[in-house]
Structure 1
Amino acid sequence: MTKNELRILYKEKRQLLNDTVCRSYDEALLGDLQKMDWSGVNYVHIYLPMDGAKEPDTLGFKKWLEKLLPQVHFVISRSDFRNHEMIHYLWDEHTVLEVNKWGILEPIGGCLVEENALDVVLVPLLVMDQEGNRVGYGKGFYDRFLAKCSPTVRTIGLTYFEPVERISDVGEWDVRLQYCISPTRTYRFI
């Protein structure tokens, strides 16, 4: 299937999940994140789940990692829809957030963080294939962002679904994930 066909199908599948199932899946995702090695990590980029989109939760992970490694810095992004780029900010107690016109909670400013400073990026997605190619929302924000990161950055996708066999229209600009966590297992693509 193509990315667009998969996007339509998996958006619908995700919307059909009830809140109890989503909470159960989020607990499973968190459990697998907790099993990963976080030593030596200084900057972690996370996404803020969109209300109503039933995206996997990242806030429980943030709370857990802050307790485990209080020195870790969290980074979140603001989307520039004119050029489909993301601007990254340190997320601290001074960060002011607002919902943009697309329903995404974003920082309105703060301390900028360059992509090459990031050690780990948690990546939102709808579904991935068995090679680590992902289907997102179709604007290419994350592919552009990940292409600018250091070659040593660890990319971890979070999804409620198991991989499809193959995405038929993967492009040369698409950035594969290194890891993807589903409710049943962690997939490693490196």
Structure 2
Amino acid sequence: MSEQTRCLWLDTTKADYVTYHDEEWGVPLFDDHKLFEFLTLEAAQAGLSWYTVLKKRTHYRQVFAQFDAEQVARFDQATIERLLQDSGIIRNRLKVEAAVNNARRFLEVQQQFGSFAAYQWRFVDGRPIVNTIRGPHDYQATSPQSDAMSKDLKQRGFKFIGSTIIYAHMQACGMVNDHAIDCFRREQIIASYASLNLG
């Protein structure tokens, strides 16, 4: 695990965190099912560390219908109350209610744009933004693109999708490549862009 140089923020003593960094974080994602999962988990993270949510991810999948947006959109108040008793997730009423609300809004976006991915990637003109991260001071919490996407999502009725949450979502889904310049994943991910249909 220690042979490769990785981003400084990563706690390399946590094997599951390393796997997430090495296999998922920053990889361009166009699958709506996974995008809904990330959007839901990023909203749950608000005010907490990402690792706190990552540890609960498997259980979230179990109780949130494997992040099937159509099923989550049908969750009723009784289901929400049951979820709020489940210690395997973040038991915050506003966040749980937001997840159900956002599933319904997610389906509306799919209906309008054909896919959530098509909607989401518009905010970076269909191409990942590659930042130059040399140290902790180079990371940003928001961007003009996350500001614009957050504002648009709010207008569409989404909850818990402020610009900081959306920027984290953009990093996770590869709309932004924020791997440090000496992290082995940075160039690997850049090389993968050639195989993508980025228009």
Give TM-score, length-normalised by structure 1: 0.25
Structure with larger Rg: 2
Q: Report 1 or 2 for greater relative contact order, CA contacts < 8 Å, sequence distance ≥ 6.
A: 2
Give TM-score, length-normalised by structure 2: 0.24
Determine which structure has the larger strand proportion and give its number.
1
Determine which structure has the larger helix proportion and give its number.
2
